[in-house]
């Protein structure tokens, strides 16, 4: 990935009353617009029809689509513009994911280094129990004796 290449996740919701062939044509058009503008399409996920958390433009459900893209800022701005002016798109969200992935990897390395420095908690407590049991007299280490006769 180049210095100006970033990864993005573009999620959009289409009107539920849009016929499937029209929604496929619209998705293909948006994919083509993104690639012609200079983005690389990594994956398209057609998530299907789902209920919305709240009504959007009078609709209670919609058809969800997610695009996974790699590119600079200009192709993403072009795609955002197209999503904004396309009437069947009732809602969309664009998230830059390379920054999130970078932070996740950094935090994961930090956790691994921290775990390598600390002894495992189970081993530390098991060792202290063994040493305390060894210091007790044999009758106390065996546990309480019941005198139920």
Tens-binned pLDDT, residue by residue, of the chain (149 aa): 455 678 999 999 999 999 999 999 999 999 999 999 999 999 999 999 999 999 999 999 999 999 999 998 899 999 999 999 999 999 999 998 888 888 888 889 988 888 888 776 665 555 555 555 555 555 554 555 555 54
d(CA 69, CA 60): 28
Cβ(1)–Cβ(70) under 8 Å? yes
Taken in order of first residue, the domains within the chain and their CATH numbers are: 6-101 (3.30.70.60)
91, 84, 22, 27: which is closest to 59 by C-alpha? 91
pTM more than 0.85: no
């Amino acid at each position: 990935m180049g210095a100006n290449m970033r990864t993005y996740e573009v999620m959009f919701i289409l009107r539920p009353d849009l016929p499937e062939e029209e929604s496929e044509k619209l998705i293909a058009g948006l994919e083509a617009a993104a690639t012609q503008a200079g983005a690389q399409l990594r994956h398209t996920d057609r998530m299907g029809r789902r209920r919305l958390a709240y009504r959007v433009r009078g609709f209670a459900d919609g058809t969800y689509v997610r695009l996974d893209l790699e590119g600079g800022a200009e192709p993403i701005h072009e795609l955002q513009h197209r999503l904004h002016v396309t009437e069947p798109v009732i809602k969309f969200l664009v998230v830059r994911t390379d920054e999130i992935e970078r932070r996740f990897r950094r935090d994961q390395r930090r956790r691994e280094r921290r775990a390598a420095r600390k002894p495992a908690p189970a081993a530390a407590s098991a060792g202290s129990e063994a040493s305390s049991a060894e210091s007790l007299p044999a009758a106390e280490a065996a546990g309480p004796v019941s005198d139920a006769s």
